[in-house]
Structure 1
Amino acid sequence: MGWNPVGFHLIDLGLLKRAAVRAESELATQAASTQKVPATSQIATNQLASAAAIYFSQTNRGHLQMPSKNAEPTRPEPDEHPRENINQQAPSLPDWRHWRESGGQRMWQAVLLSLNVNATAKDRDSLKVNDPAKYAEYERRCKVAIARYGVHEQLPAIAHPMSGRMIRERYVLFDRFLAFARDVGWDGLEAFERGLGFAPVAALSDSTVGMSTEITKGWRYDRVRMGALLKLLEDVARGTADGKALLHGGQISLIRVGQEMANIIDEAAKAAAPGKRLAGYGADGNRKSLTAARDALKDV
């Protein structure tokens, strides 16, 4: 079989070097001998001689180099088209059907939704990179919600398996959180309201606010309590209720006022539908609402 130089570069370099040395030795031996060598031996010798010629010619040109044990491993060339950083993408808009059906999530997620930003960690990080001003508002709202959590009536402490260790990871109900956001006066809640299926406050008139309106329970609770408080003040002014009984130590007793409000609400519910009782309007709940209202007045 004849010598084929094509594909020769696939041969191990060490083997090639030994073949070259052997070829030189064979040629030297034949030159010194006057005996005729067999044809097969001559063919092998010619192949070895060709190998030697290729080896030395390529080595002199620098094309063939023996690997060094101390040589550093080769590193891949940098990608000319690196994958785009996900944080460079603008945050997504919320999938309102998903969030509406969930009913609630962690507090920081509810804050993102109040800003019309999809409530995922990826979108939160993207907001930080692409809109620092809006991200600053997100952080501000988180601090407000954390400060009022478990204190404001619309942010009760809820034991839920989805809650995390940090306060901003506590579970909140979206309808209650929206009522809280309205109460503290956050702007730009229209998308939050529409996304959750609640009517914006600006679209409601006094004649449409009632038990069947498409409005959050938390907001409706405040309206009903306000009505009960007005009825109590009216009774005191007319003399049909003892105003002194609402005092304790010369100051208004919120628990007593809350109890009277509960009685008024209970009577109104029975008048509207005999035997009907409303949940969520107990004396303690009313007291907490009055406490939050008094604190809010101090912050004006």
Structure 2
Amino acid sequence: MNTRKSPKKQPLANPIGKTNDADGQPPSRPDWSFWKRRRYCRIWQAALLSLDVEPSRTNRIKLEKSEPVRYSEYRKRREILIVNRGHHSLLDPIEHLRAGDREGEKYIDLSQVLDFARQQDWSIVEAFIQGMEGKHIETSALGAGIQDIDEDEFDMHELKKGDRYLMVRMGAILILLEKCLRSGKEVNPHRYLKKDDLNYLALGKEIEKIITDVAKKKDARFGFEGNRSVFSDAVKALNTFFSTAKR
């Protein structure tokens, strides 16, 4: 008797914040010949460069996963540069057309950062010194693309608390959406409908479950009642925003 094999389930997207391609891989080192000539960069980029890391989103994630101690130092240096920019004699504020809205995206002079690092006696700056003085050019980043050099850095920690919560819920919503799009029998989308409206209670419970799975524990900040209220308010905001917002 022929047996019918059930179709293999398609793999789901990575959970919130997961990036398998960066797991366990060390970040690449900077192309110092480029950065010495470029001279100006964003604050978060300068903090990574001071640690001999090519400043890109991917490398920042790799550093966090492979070297948490050095990543912690990166965060400290970025914070120090943010609060001292324009308030320290060695760190002039620079207006630049490419600067972003967040503080870590403001522009800074790398030569001033180097002088500041020396004055502050930062550790692990030998490559930074040699690179900016043109004595250390052979690096693993030579020939690398620069397509993401001036892209805004997404960092959850720079968002306000309410915005962070909203981003987490949005990530969970997208995971649920992908499950619904991929599903055969795995997800019944009608479960989240109630007559002519969304079933906010069922939706809130499912989002709570997704977040719990990612966090490996329940988090009271993302309970189903709170999720239900946020989702209901979000739909109301969509329906009223364009009729009430200033044009």
What range is the shorter-chain TM-score in? 0.3 to 0.5
**Higher CA-based Rg:** 1
Q: Which protein has the bigger helix share?
A: 1
Structure having greater relative contact order (Cα 8 Å, sep ≥ 6): 2
Q: TM-score, normalised to structure 1's length?
A: 0.39
Q: Using structure 2 for the length normalisation, give the TM-score.
A: 0.47
